[in-house]
């Protein structure tokens, strides 16, 4: 297997909770941003149920976790972060969430969306993948296709000036069906720096760092590099279609100037 080298000009990471994007594809995001891509992060919830003490004020916790996520996003280099403020632990792939995600996609207009693999219910047969991760993954996929590109889906948005948008690729992370590996040797330290920003969630950072280094090294070994992140890649519109669309645009532009 070889390192995956395709790079989106614009990409959006859709995550259930603050810190998912940093445990997930942060090193890939940092690598792409360093190479000139523009990235945007969408957090469906603000992680208001992510504490051990039942006396924790969920609103204070949400505000803290949003601050932590914004700090982490600055380390990775995202152009911005949107919080949808859905309830932590109760995320549902319904029309309300889909409309929010379609609005984000039609506004930012990414070539690729990165989201949790919703089919990975029992990771490595060693636990249950959080219901919010599965809901966010399915919601992202359903927002990407067909909703965001269908001008008859959420027509009020279209009338409001947000045109339909074709996302061409889905990169599913935390997957049990990895099809591509991205060489993140140069940015795995940035992923760790981003993770460090989530102080409220990480009691033993040394253990986290050890685990992240082991995982990325394991994946890296599969393509002969020091560190990698892996994805289940769904190509909705391949590069041939992209070329055709570009040619059509060029034709249209040359026609309008004639």
Under the rule (CB under 5 A), what is the footprint of Zn ion? 17, 20
Instruction: Give whichever of 8 and 24 is closer to Zn ion, judged by the CB atom.
Output: 24
**Chain centre distance of CA 243:** 25
Instruction: Give whichever of 17 and 98 is closer to Zn ion, judged by the CB atom.
Output: 17
| Cβ at position 230, least distance to Zn ion in Å | 18
Instruction: Give whichever of 20 and 68 is closer to Zn ion, judged by the CB atom.
Output: 20
The residue number with the shortest CB distance to Zn ion is 17
Instruction: Give whichever of 20 and 48 is closer to Zn ion, judged by the CB atom.
Output: 20
166, HSE (Cβ side, Cα atoms, 13 Å):
8
**Which of 177, 42, 179, 164 lies closest to 113 in space, CA to CA?**
42
| Cβ at position 69, least distance to Zn ion in Å | 11
| Cβ at position 24, least distance to Zn ion in Å | 9
| Cβ at position 183, least distance to Zn ion in Å | 25
Give the Cα-Cα-Cα angle 111, 116, 120 (nearest 5 degrees). 135
The b-or-e profile of 165-179 (16+ CB within 10 A means b, else e) is: bbbbbbbbbbbeebe
By the 10 Å C-beta count (0-12 exposed, 13-18 middle, 19+ buried), 252 is classed as exposed
Three-class SS of residue 167?
A: coil
| Cβ at position 127, least distance to Zn ion in Å | 13
Instruction: Give whichever of 18 and 110 is closer to Zn ion, judged by the CB atom.
Output: 18
């Amino acid at each position: 297997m070889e390192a995956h080298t395709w790079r989106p000009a614009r990409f959006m990471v859709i995550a259930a909770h603050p810190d998912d994007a940093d445990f997930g594809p942060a090193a890939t995001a940092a690598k792409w941003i360093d190479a000139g891509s523009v990235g945007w992060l969408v957090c469906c919830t603000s992680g208001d149920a992510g504490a051990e003490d039942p006396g924790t004020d969920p609103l204070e916790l949400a505000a803290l976790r949003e601050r932590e996520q914004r700090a982490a996003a600055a380390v990775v280099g995202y152009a911005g972060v949107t919080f949808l403020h859905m309830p932590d632990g109760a995320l549902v792939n319904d029309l309300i969430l889909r409309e929010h995600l379609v609005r984000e996609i039609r506004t930012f207009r990414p070539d690729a969306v990165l989201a949790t693999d919703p089919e990975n219910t029992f990771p490595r047969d060693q636990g249950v993948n959080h219901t919010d991760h599965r809901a966010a993954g399915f919601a992202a996929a359903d927002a990407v296709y067909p909703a965001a590109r269908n001008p008859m889906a959420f027509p009020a948005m279209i009338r409001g000036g947000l045109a339909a948008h074709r996302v061409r690729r889905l990169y599913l992370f935390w997957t049990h069906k990895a099809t591509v590996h991205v060489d993140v040797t140069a940015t795995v330290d940035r992923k760790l720096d981003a993770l460090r920003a989530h102080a409220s969630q990480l009691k033993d950072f040394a253990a986290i760092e050890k685990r992240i280094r082991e995982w990325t090294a394991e994946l890296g070994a599969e393509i002969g590099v020091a560190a990698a992140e892996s994805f289940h890649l769904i190509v909705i519109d391949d590069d041939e279609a992209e070329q055709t669309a570009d040619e059509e645009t060029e034709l249209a532009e040359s026609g309008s100037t004639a």
